[in-house]
Amino acid sequence: MCYNPFQLRDKTILVTGASSGIGQQCAIDCSRMGARVVLVARDEERLEETLSLLEGSGHCYYKFDLNCLEEIEKLIEKIKKDVGRLNGFVHAAGIEKTLPMKWLKVSDYEGLLRVNFLSSFEIIKCLARLGVLNKESHIVLIASILSVIGRKGLAAYAASKGAMVAAIRAMALELASKKICVNCVSPGTILTPMMQKYLLSLDEEEYKKRLEGFPLGMGETVDVSNMCIYLLSDASRWITGQNFIVDGGYTIK
């Protein structure tokens, strides 16, 4: 067998947002690298579809709405009982809303913070408190380049992503004694259902400008999942508390 420090054989990885886009690609690629995958998302039909796209066996899913922060502890307890300990967690569940700050309602930014940031915080807290993560596990949160740059209409979304990047530094320090690594991946524009919906709302000129911002063109979900695979694998055992920008060169201009 060839030497491959990036493989995920004998690892069990929890993936939220696994029914679509980046999360679905992460789930598929984790299974291709040998992992057993535990999927979490809201839509049962699409979870079934993701399950059917996975390689290998032993995968399962949990239909769950991450708005229900108070129910997360029960979900994690159930996962521990059903599948045992985990070796990795990818938080790819997320929502986006583009609206000038003055039009945002409290419920808008509360919702963004809840799904994008607070649910990942609560999951990591429960994983740690209930001892669900094995030693040398890896946690990856999907943030966004909005965690490091500004864009009009995205103040609340950016806040939810920036919060992740700030929180993982302290989390990484707290979990380092168990050799658990915690990192963020911050993608630029990736063609997923979420992004397609947004791009359709742009006029021709805005769309052209957006496209021209990416020296390497727009990204695909595999560009993000490949980075996640690396951060979930033993190859990244000495990397923690970092925010990795995956944006085809957008932020270097």
Ligand X SMILES: NC(=O)c1ccc[n+]([C@@H]2O[C@H](COP(=O)([O-])OP(=O)(O)OC[C@H]3O[C@@H](n4cnc5c(N)ncnc54)[C@H](O)[C@@H]3O)[C@@H](O)[C@H]2O)c1
- Which residue numbers are catalytic? 157
Query: Binding marks (x or -) toward ligand X, 83..122, rule CB under 6 A?
Result: ---------xxxxx------------------xx------
Which residue among 182, 190, 228, 231 contacts ligand X (CB under 6 A)? 190
CA 113 to each of CA 105, 160, 168: distance values in angstroms, whole numbers, following the listed order: 13, 5, 15
Minimum separation from the CB atom of position 113 to ligand X (A): 12
Please state the separation of Cα 80 from the chain's center in Å.
Answer: 20
Four-point Cα dihedral 7, 9, 14, 15, nearest 10: 40
Phi, psi for 62 (deg, rounded to 5): -130, 120
Size of the site for ligand X (CB under 6 A): 28
Nearer to ligand X by Cβ, of 147 and 240: the residue is: 147
With contacts defined by CB under 6 A, name the span among 6-14, 41-49, 69-77, 236-244 that binds ligand X: 41-49
Which residue among 12, 87, 144, 236 contacts ligand X (CB under 6 A)? 144
Which residue among 23, 88, 162, 248 contacts ligand X (CB under 6 A)? 23
Q: Judging by DSSP bridges, how do beta strands 243-246 and 181-187 pair with one another?
A: parallel
**CA proximity to 185, closest of 99, 245, 248:** 245
Helix (H, G, I), strand (E, B) or coil at 187: strand
Under the criterion CB under 6 A, does residue 42 sit at the interface with ligand X?
yes
Minimum separation from the CB atom of position 178 to ligand X (A): 26
Minimum separation from the CB atom of position 176 to ligand X (A): 25
Say which residues have a Cβ less than 8 Å from residue 60's Cβ, sequence separation at least 6: 38, 39, 51, 82, 83
Minimum separation from the CB atom of position 190 to ligand X (A): 4
CA 198 to each of CA 16, 39, 128, 153, 206: distance values in angstroms, whole numbers, following the listed order: 21, 25, 36, 12, 11
Which residue among 8, 11, 15, 19 contacts ligand X (CB under 6 A)? 19
Which residue among 51, 55, 67, 130 contacts ligand X (CB under 6 A)? 67
Report which residue type is found at 136. Answer: E
Which residue among 7, 8, 21, 120 contacts ligand X (CB under 6 A)? 21
Minimum separation from the CB atom of position 248 to ligand X (A): 11
Under the criterion CB under 6 A, does residue 175 sit at the interface with ligand X?
no
Rounded to an integer, what distance in angstroms lies between the CA atom of residue 235 and that of residue 249?
24
Query: Binding marks (x or -) toward ligand X, 124..143, rule CB under 6 A?
Result: ------------------x-
Span between the terminal Cα atoms of the chain, in Å: 43
**CA proximity to 46, closest of 75, 73, 24:** 24
List interacting residues with ligand X (CB under 6 A). 17, 19-23, 41-43, 65-67, 92-96, 115-116, 142, 144, 187, 189-190, 192-195
